[in-house]
Amino acid sequence: MSTLTARRPFGGRLLLYAFLVTLLLVFALPLLWALSSSFKSRADIFSYPPALLPNPAVLDNYRGLLEAQPFWSWFAISTVVAVISTVVSVLLCSLAGFAFAKYRFRGRNALFTIMFSSLAVPFAVIVVPLFIMVAKARLTEPYFALVVPWVAPAFGIFMMRQYTEQAVPDELLDAARIDGCTEFGLFRRVVLPLLRPALGALGVWSFLNSYNSLLWPLIVISEPEDYTLPMGIQALFGATGRQYDLVLAGSVLAAVPSLLVFFLLRKQLLEGLTAGAVKA
């Protein structure tokens, strides 16, 4: 990248930087506006002309959210469900990806084609059949029901299969088998260490998908004490009026775990996605 940038003419680099700065502002401006407005009074949030910075900065919105709403309950449920979903999905997707990549069995290509084709189906289309399956299996308890859609996503299996094919040579597996390694030991001791970048990328993707999910929790959760964080924030647009001040404060606090996960695992995320894009 640095070589390409060095060879680019000055005018071209200037246009590139201008484009990137514009793009950064487009994506960052809503977040900065929400952060700034969360410290404004309710009357100042929609004042015209809009002020970039709060004057004065107040904590009333955060105080009102934490004192009058079960914010920490929403936060705990969303975090626990997202962590469980991430651990289970990383384990199952890596196992399924390893099986599709390194084992030859009847119907493998057909199964993979069906699984891959499901990526083209929007989640909203399968919500009703999925709910019926969950109900038939008697998995309607809140924690089970919230975890089910994310335990083995097709995108995760596809990603791990592509990465396993490229990162794990067959010769290495054969050598481990000759040394007496069992198939599960092969997966745990040989395959998993080589998949670390892809596992990190899949972990970030799974956590964010589960943590930010709203449609599925709206289908399976009915009791207010079981609300997830997106459901709780959505409930602030309730019968008592749209409490934009509390919504802004809740949105800022809700973004903290997502940002932490991204910054802690950004190296693995970039390595995993880049490798998958190049090697797919």
CATH code of the domain in which 182 resides: 1.10.3720.10
Q: Is residue 19 part of a domain?
A: no
What does the pLDDT read at residue 279?
47
pTM tops 0.95: no
Q: Is residue 24 part of a domain?
A: no
272 Cα distance to chain centroid = 14
What does the pLDDT read at residue 273?
66
Q: Is residue 32 part of a domain?
A: no
Among 62, 86, 181, smallest CA distance to 54 is for 62
- What residues in the chain have per-residue pLDDT under 50? 1-2, 278-280
Domain count, the chain: 1
CB-based contacts of 135: which residues, under 8 Å, 6+ apart?
none
Structural domain of residue 266, as residue ranges? Answer: 39-276
What does the pLDDT read at residue 241?
67
Q: Is residue 251 part of a domain?
A: yes
Q: Is residue 4 part of a domain?
A: no
Q: Is residue 31 part of a domain?
A: no
Q: What mean pLDDT is reported for the chain?
A: 86
Q: Is residue 30 part of a domain?
A: no
Is residue 93 within 8 A of residue 202, CB to CB? The reply is: yes
Buried b (16+ CB within 10 A) or exposed e, 48-75: eeeeeebeeebeebbeebbeebebebbb
Q: Is residue 137 part of a domain?
A: yes
What does the pLDDT read at residue 7?
62
